[in-house]
Amino acid sequence: MGTRFTYSRWDGTQRGFDVNADSLLDQLADDLMYHGDPTSALRRMMQDGLRDANGERIQGLREMLKRLRDRQEEIKSSGDLDGVYKEIDDALNDVLDEERHAIDDSVRAARDSGDERRLETATESAAMRHARLGMMPDDLAGKVAELQHYDFVSNDAQRRFDELMERLRQQVLQQQLDQMSSAMQNLTPEDLQRTKDMMAALNEMIDKRERGEDPGFDSFMEKFGDFFPENPENLDELLEQMARRMAEAQSMLNSMSPEQRDQLQRLSEQLLDDMDLRWQFDQLARNMQSLFPQLGQMPGESFSGSAPLGFQQAMQAFRDLEDAKALEAMLKNASSPAGLAEVDMDRVRDLLGDDAANSLERLAELSRLMEEAGLIDQKEGRVRLSPRAIRKLGAKALRDLFGSLRKDMVGQHAIESIGIGHERAEDSKPYEFGDPFRLDLHGTLRNALRRNGMGVPVKLSPDDFEIERTEHATRSSTVLMLDLSMSMPMRDNFLPAKKVAIALHHLISTQFPRDYLGVVGFGETARELAPEALPEASWDFAYGTNMHHAFTLARKMLANRSGTKQIIMITDGEPTAHITPRGEVYFNYPPVRETVETTLREVLRCTKANIRINTFMLDADNGLRRFVERLTHINGGRAFFTTHDTLGDYVLLDFLEHKRRVSRAGASR
Residue 8 lies in a domain: no
Q: How many CA atoms lie within 13 A of 161 on its CB side?
A: 23
Is 435 in the same domain as 293?
no
- The neighbour count for residue 138, using CB atoms within 10 Å, is 7
**pLDDT-derived band at 406, boundaries 50, 70, 90:** very low
Locate all alpha helices (DSSP H) within 292-365, ordered by sequence.
311-333, 345-352, 354-363
pLDDT by residue (tens digit) across 593-608?
Answer: 999 999 999 999 999 9
pLDDT by residue (tens digit) across 134-156?
Answer: 888 877 777 888 888 888 888 99
**Overall average pLDDT of the 420-428 stretch:** 47
Does residue 509 register a pLDDT over 60? yes
CA distances for 373 relative to 21, 382, 386, angstroms: 6, 18, 10
Is 36 in the same domain as 91?
no
Is 211 in the same domain as 297?
yes
Residue 406 lies in a domain: no
Phi–psi pair at 517, nearest 5 degrees = -130, 120
Residue 389 vs residue 259, higher pLDDT: 389
**pLDDT-derived band at 82, boundaries 50, 70, 90:** low
Q: Is the dihedral of CA 386, 388, 392, 394 positive or negative?
A: positive
Q: Write down the pTM of the prediction.
A: 0.56
Is 502 in the same domain as 623?
yes
Residue 14 lies in a domain: no
Residue 260 lies in a domain: yes
Residue 397 lies in a domain: no
Is 451 in the same domain as 528?
no
Residue 230 lies in a domain: yes
Does residue 256 register a pLDDT over 80? no
Angle at 384 between CA 381 and CA 385, to 5 degrees: 160
Is 518 in the same domain as 447?
no
Is 453 in the same domain as 480?
no
H/E run at residue 561: none
Query: Mean pLDDT over all residues of the chain?
Result: 77
**What pLDDT is attached to residue 433?**
55
Give the lowest-confidence range in 12-21, 250-259, 608-617.
12-21
**Domain-ending residue, one of 173, 206, 226:** 173
Is 548 in the same domain as 597?
yes
In percent, the amount of the chain with pLDDT more than 70 equals 74
Is 535 in the same domain as 584?
yes
Is 106 in the same domain as 201?
no
Does residue 99 register a pLDDT over 70? yes
Give CA–CA dist 93/142, Å, rounded.
13
pLDDT by residue (tens digit) across 112-122?
Answer: 888 888 888 88
Give CA–CA dist 610/635, Å, rounded.
9
Residue 9 lies in a domain: no
Is 222 in the same domain as 165?
no
H/E run at residue 423: strand 423-430
Give the lowest-confidence range in 52-66, 432-446, 620-634.
432-446
pLDDT by residue (tens digit) across 318-329?
Answer: 778 878 888 888
**What pLDDT is attached to residue 554?**
96
**Domain-ending residue, one of 111, 140, 173:** 173
**pLDDT-derived band at 17, boundaries 50, 70, 90:** very low
Does residue 379 register a pLDDT over 90? no
H/E run at residue 52: none
- Decide if 382 contacts 39 (C-beta within 8 A): yes
Residue 42 lies in a domain: yes
- The neighbour count for residue 298, using CB atoms within 10 Å, is 19
What torsion, rounded to 10 degrees, do the Cα atoms 302, 305, 306, 311 define? -70
**Overall average pLDDT of the 150-174 stretch:** 80
Instruction: Characterize the bridge pairing of strands 57-58 and 564-571.
Output: unpaired
Give CA–CA dist 252/247, Å, rounded.
9
Print the domain residue range for 159: 82-173
Give the lowest-confidence range in 281-295, 574-588, 616-630.
281-295
pLDDT by residue (tens digit) across 174-215?
Answer: 565 555 554 444 556 666 778 778 888 888 998 888 888 898
Number of domain units in the chain: 5
Is 465 in the same domain as 506?
no
Give CA–CA dist 431/444, Å, rounded.
10
**Domain-ending residue, one of 441, 471, 501:** 471
